[in-house]
Amino acid sequence: MAAPASPPTTPHLFVVLGGTGDLMRRKLLPALYHFHARGDIPAGSGILAVARAPLDDAKFQQVALDALLAAGAGTDGAQDRANLEQWCARTIRFQSLAAGGSAGYAALSARIPQVEKELGLAGDRLFYLALPLQAFASTIQGLGDAGLAHGPGWTRVVVEKPFGRDLASAQQLNALLHRYFEEQQVYRIDHYLGKETVQNLLVLRFANAFIESDWNREHVEDVQITVAESLGVEDRAGYYESSGALRDMVQNHTTQVLSLVAMEPPGSLDADAIRNEKVKLLRSIAPLAPGDVVFGQYQAGGIGGQSVPGYRQEPGVSPTSDVETFVALRLRIANWRWQGVPFYLRTGKRLPAKSTRVVVTFRAPPVAFFHRAAAYEMSPDRLTILLQPDEGFELCFEVKVPGREMRTQTHRMSFRYSDVFGSLSDGYEMLLMDVLRGDPTHFVRADEVEASWTLYDPLLANRPPVRPYAAGTMGPAEADQLLEEMGHRWDESGLSGGS
């Protein structure tokens, strides 16, 4: 939910560190070409890919053309192909960092104004770190020492997740960024925050009085946030063995959803007003006790009728690995709105279906006379907010079954984005446009990163035992016990199968 009046973007140079990588080919190049094709950015904006590969402009322009063709661009006839080729030749340049170290960044510092002069640009620059975490520090220092943290126009830097591996490393990375860049120049990107349905959480809550008036401890019994993945580790074993589900999903994606679900109303749509409330919420979460956390790891099983191996049998995974592929948490928010309401978070790989959802269960009416007869099979009212893949929401409520007898049934009232708006984008393009416009609303601020790591850092130092669960199930039995101890159970509707 960006501020309603965003300033127009200006002609700029989009500099991608890691310019030959997968993120550049699959996400960034197609997004930037779409901006051009739709007229979302001014003509004349340029792209400078930076990597260690020994390429020149012409060779990388061919790499970019192949990537865009593979993504479906330029396939609508000969003229469309010719337009794409012309755009690549006119827009894209390449700078090699083969020299390494300070010499490589000095060469980059000299090349950027040359490209800007060639393209007629005034000096507005965006540096995108499409790099693994271990390369962030040296890249930030290289840019800063080469004098690239500030230029003739605006300068912004986008940093991909994960932002640090723990609290100490996140603090060190923030300190390094702030040595060269001001906080308002830094955009820590989490693609979940670009999803329309995630941004709609604020609209759903604060633009609908009947929801917000019940969004508190007086009316809510519990809140569940599930980020389920049916895929396994796939080809990411090298990354995942050093990460695990807590770092990969909980500290960022899942906690971002939590903060938007539970935060207080901001004073305005100003970026800092919204982010202040998110930080305040994270700082209100009580420290996690050992009994509040369950780690799991998938074993061999079946999904969608197909047999799949266990995590330890995946290529590149140690046969004795204790890396968690599943996390379930029970959180307590120690503030006026949520005191006494448990928040349950879970995420895992090789679960039955891919789904991200928030389930808010409301308290039973204070006079429960319908429960006194066996004929009344009452279910609590529930609001399910579906973030992916079938975006929308459902409200479950009780109705009387027609007839002489007083019998009730649970029915669902639903809304689907696809029925009204068609398919939704994955959010990357929206976030990139926000950076170009200088709108940091949907990006993570330094204190928010550190508040999140403060919550989860103790689990890295004192890891819970890793419980096994069969692929195709909803995780280890201990995750169910987290809720049963409080008289609750996971809502599994729509999660029993899929691909």
Q: Report the catalytic residues.
A: 253
Contact (Cβ atoms closer than 8 angstroms) between residue 348 and residue 325: yes
Residue 218 CB contacts under 8 Å (≥ 6 apart), including other chains: 363
Task: Report the C-alpha gap between 265 and 163 in whole angstroms.
Answer: 27
Task: Report the C-alpha gap between 142 and 96 in whole angstroms.
Answer: 14
Cα radius of gyration (the chain)? 25
Which stretch of DSSP H or E encloses residue 358? strand 355-362
Task: Report the C-alpha gap between 104 and 96 in whole angstroms.
Answer: 8
Contact (Cβ atoms closer than 8 angstroms) between residue 461 and residue 171: no
Query: Which tokens hold the place of 146?
Result: 């080469």
Contact (Cβ atoms closer than 8 angstroms) between residue 228 and residue 356: yes
Residue 463 CB contacts under 8 Å (≥ 6 apart), including other chains: 295, 322, 324
Contact (Cβ atoms closer than 8 angstroms) between residue 363 and residue 221: yes
* DSSP tag of 207: S
- Backbone φ and ψ for 157, nearest 5 degrees, come out as -130, 130
- Pairing relation of β-strands 355-362 and 382-388? antiparallel
Residue 95 CB contacts under 8 Å (≥ 6 apart), including other chains: 48, 49, 50, 107, 108, 111
